[in-house]
């Protein structure tokens, strides 16, 4: 029993090269927007304040702000080894990420509080809005951690989804050099030529992964709808 999780090192088993980033960003998009559509659904079906107190939307808004904050910094900035420092520097990037994660965890906890304190404990007849708030925040949280720019993803090329204000642009020579070095070292191990454009199976692969992620994540909202 002690070593059975040793084989579950996901950063090694998913080695699809640059497709991992694509899959991760598609997965993040699916999760994030599904979360928002769940809360839109709840808000449309229960417009009255006594069934669904619309101030509960604040939870999802803070979760979205946290999502943007977490994805604004890359692993390299936090570790201090990226070429482009950004306007905050390494310590600033750590504080930014810290605050982002605090907001993310806080909104997740708040959504659980809303579900249990606002709906379950009060034994309301209509529980679905509370479930919707919880699932919205859960989906946004997991979407944020699935993103290739986030801290959880073990992304060696560390692309940044958003630029901090005053940051060096993505097209700065130093970041290009870093990218090219990483790509060159990876191309040494793989059979692909360095300057190949998207492989023929690129969009096919993207589409297949999109379909597979849609297929995987879509039962959840319908399960939720069935529960309601």
> Mask 133-152, x = binds other proteins (CB under 8 A)?
--------------xxx---
Using the rule CB under 8 A, give the single segment among 88-96, 97-105, 107-115, 158-166 that binds other proteins: 158-166
Q: Which is nearer to other proteins, 107 or 160 (CB)?
A: 160
Task: Please report whether residue 105 would count as binding other proteins according to CB under 8 A.
Answer: no
Residue for token digits 């679905």? 128
Q: Which range binds other proteins by CB under 8 A, 3-11, 20-28, 110-118, 129-137?
A: 20-28
Greatest alpha-carbon span in the chain: 63
- Min dist CB 124 to other proteins, Å, is 19
Which stretches of the chain are DSSP H helices? 10-13, 19-45, 57-72, 75-79, 89-113, 128-146, 173-189, 202-217, 219-227
Pick between residue 127 and residue 210 the one whose CB is nearest to other proteins: 210
Q: Which two tokens stand for residue 154?
A: 């073990």
Q: How far is CA 89 from the centre of its chain?
A: 23
Q: From residue 159, how far is each of 76, 81, 169, 176, 190 by CA, in Å?
A: 9, 13, 12, 11, 21
Smallest separation (angstroms) from other proteins to the CB of 17: 8
Q: How far apart are the first and last CA of the chain?
A: 40
Query: How many residues in the shown chain lie near other proteins by CB under 8 A?
Result: 44
CA angle at 9 for the pair 5 and 13, rounded to the nearest 5°: 130
CB atoms within 10 A of CB 132: 29
| Stretch of 4-12, 49-57, 113-121, 176-184 contacting other proteins, by CB under 8 A | 176-184
At 83 the three-state DSSP class reads: coil
Range in contact with other proteins (rule: CB under 8 A) among 15-23, 58-66, 75-83, 129-137? 15-23
- Is there binding between residue 195 and other proteins (CB under 8 A)? yes
Residues that bind other proteins (CB under 8 A): 18, 21-22, 24-26, 28-30, 32-34, 37, 40-41, 44-45, 147-149, 157, 159-162, 170-171, 176, 179, 182-183, 186, 195-198, 200, 203-204, 206-207, 210, 214, 225
């Amino acid at each position: 029993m002690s070593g059975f999780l040793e084989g579950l090192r996901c950063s090694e088993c998913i080695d699809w090269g640059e497709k991992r980033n694509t899959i991760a960003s598609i997965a993040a998009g699916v999760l994030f927007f599904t979360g928002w559509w769940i809360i839109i659904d709840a808000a449309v079906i229960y417009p009255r304040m006594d069934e669904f107190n619309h101030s509960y939307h604040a939870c999802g808004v803070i979760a979205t702000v946290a999502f943007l904050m977490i994805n604004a910094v890359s692993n390299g900035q936090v570790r201090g080894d990226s070429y482009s420092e950004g306007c905050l520097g390494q310590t600033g990037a750590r504080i930014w990420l810290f605050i982002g994660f605090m907001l993310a965890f806080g909104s997740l906890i708040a959504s659980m509080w809303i579900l249990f304190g606002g709906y379950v404990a009060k034994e309301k007849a209509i529980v679905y809005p509370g479930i919707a708030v919880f699932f919205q925040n859960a989906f946004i949280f997991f979407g944020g951690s699935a993103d290739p720019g986030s801290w959880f993803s073990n992304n060696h090329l560390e692309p940044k989804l958003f630029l901090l204000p005053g940051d060096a642009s993505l097209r700065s020579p130093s970041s290009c050099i870093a990218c090219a070095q990483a790509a060159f070292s990876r191309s040494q191990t793989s059979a692909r030529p360095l300057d190949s454009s998207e492989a023929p199976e690129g969009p096919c692969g993207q589409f297949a992964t999109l379909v597979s992620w849609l297929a995987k994540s879509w039962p959840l909202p319908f399960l939720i709808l069935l529960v309601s």
